[in-house]
Structure 1
């Protein structure tokens, strides 16, 4: 099933990142873009999410240097754009995969595209990894560990449900019971022509 593959790759990415555990480490995608495009995209997607997860931790340091914080904010903005781009690449993959499928007359559209559901699955993998760390953190009190274990149990259940829903969605698209329609995100804050602050800075 698709979600089994995705969850396995996401776990590999997160574990690989934490071998060095620094946001500036070199990225290497083990999946060839031409031979294993889907795996390549999933790996890259989760790597972006993993780095950004740690960006978000760092920028919440109350003692962070303001200059460093501004630089990090720019990195987070760029990461957000990369994340959106990767979602659109994934949706393009599925659009191509199912392009020959003729939707049934009563076919319906889903509230989100497959790739945006996969985006949530990638973030969920990060939540599970880090909540598991907290649930087993030996320097924390027992109450903390119990609370985090309860949260981890919910996250694991959520992953089962989301994985099932993604598999069902892809199956419905393949059978023509649902159809894909992708809207590009059209982010405005990074666009020199659409963000009035950036537009003014160009003058």
Structure 2
């Protein structure tokens, strides 16, 4: 089993010294450098580069400002995806984001984690667990999504939250660690009419 297969299986893998993984990250960094240094008027070129980098996208996607990831091919975003500035996705494992999702500035989505014992951590070993974000999700500014998290469709993650585990659909989740604050209900749809 190679290091990429170990990562996909959720096992400890060599993320820092394996030549094949380093080459894949270097290839992604080259594309990201080009994306992140384009003139703001070059939207079409930016979108085409992103679609080539990511594993799967909808037709209508927007990444404003700087974007960083490890590999790109492990990231799938749906239709009408919007990411504000400074999105970081560490995609050692699959990151699946549904349709109509909005991500505010300075959000980190991290599939990667490290062993607690220093001996294995110092050898460059890490693990990765997939992250799933459903349709119609809004993630507020400064949110951190941890390895293995799942966010249900229609949910809103409050600014500054740390998401771990499972967030049910159609709720507001906030805090560190993130907890369900309340369900989203009919009053919420009437609020701005």
TM-score (norm 1): 0.28
Greater Rg by CA: 1
Which structure shows the higher helix fraction? 1
TM-score (norm 2): 0.29
Which structure shows the higher strand fraction? 2
